[in-house]
Amino acid sequence: MKRLLYGFAMCQSMFCAIPFPGNLWDEKARGQMLLFLPVVGLKIGGIWAVLAWLVRLLRLPSLVSGLILCACPFVLTGFLHLDGFMDVTDAVKSCRDLEKRRAILKDSHVGSFAVIGLCLLMLTQFALLASVPETADWRILILIPAVSRCCSALAVKGLPPMATSQYAAQEKNKAHQWILAGMLAAFLAAGFLLCGKYGFALLGCLAGYALALHRGYKSLEGMNGDISGYALTVGEACAVAVYALI
C-alpha cells in the first residue's frame, strides 16, 4: 500500500503542475507511477470541466472562453506533453535518417517544424473550443484527459522502448496493462452512459492517439516519453474536435 501511495505521489509530481503535499519519492515505486496516470488525468479533466461550466455560467464571450479552455490542460501539466509534441514534430518532419531523427528528438533547440506544428495546434484547439455550442455536455471534458493518459500508460508499458528512454529499465507488468485496459474500457463506457453522443469524443481521442502513436513510433523505431506526449496532445485535440463539431 505504501508503494502505491508513493507511486501516486510521484506520478502527480512528475505529470501535473498542481503541487502534491509533502515530498514523497521512492525509486522502488517508480514502476507504479504510470498506473496512476489516468487518475491524474481525471483530476486535470475535472478542473477543465469545471472551467467549462463556469465560463458558460458567466456567459463569457466565446473567444475568451475558447482561450481559457484551450490553455487549461496545457497549464495544468506544466506544458510537459506539449514539449513532447514539439520535439517529435521536429524529428518526424525532418525526414532524415533514423540516427539524425533521434538526435533531433533530444536536441534542446526548437526547430521550425515544431513552431509551425504548435501554432496550428493552438489555433485549431482554440477555434474549436470557441465554437462549442451552448448545449454541449461539458462533463465529457472530465474523461478526455483520463482516456488519453490510459493510452499513454498502455503504450509505454506495452511497446519496446528506445534505449535512451527513462522507461527502458522498467520491467513489463502484464497485471498493470490489464488494469489500465480495464480503466480505459470503464472510461469509454462512462462517457456514453453519462454524456450520450458526446461519448464519441473519447473515441476520437482514442483514434487520434493511435494514429499519432503509429506515426511517432514507426518513424523513431521505439517508444519514449516524448512520443507519449506527442500522441496524447494529438489525441486530446481530436477529442476536442469531435466534442465541438458533433
DSSP string covering 148-217: HHHHHHHHHHHSPBPTTSTTTTSPP-HHHHHHHHHHHHHHHHHHHHHHGGGGHHHHHHHHHHHHHHHHHH
Question: Please, which residues bridge with residue 223 across strands?
Answer: 161
Identify whether 14 is part of a domain: no
| DSSP code for 23 | -
Identify whether 16 is part of a domain: no
What is this structure's pTM?
A: 0.94
Domain count, the chain: 1
Identify whether 4 is part of a domain: no
- How high is the pLDDT of residue 166? 72
Domain that holds residue 119: 34-245
Identify whether 56 is part of a domain: yes
Q: What does the pLDDT profile of the chain (246 residues) look like in tens digits?
A: 777 888 888 888 899 998 877 777 777 778 888 999 999 999 999 999 999 999 999 999 999 999 999 999 999 999 999 999 999 999 999 989 999 999 999 988 899 999 999 999 999 999 999 999 999 999 999 999 999 999 999 999 999 998 777 776 666 778 889 999 999 999 999 999 999 999 999 999 999 999 999 999 999 999 999 999 999 999 999 999 999 999
For the record, the C-alpha cell of 58 comes out as: 458567466
Identify whether 21 is part of a domain: no
Identify whether 15 is part of a domain: no
In terms of residues, how long is the chain? Answer: 246
Identify whether 25 is part of a domain: no
Identify whether 11 is part of a domain: no
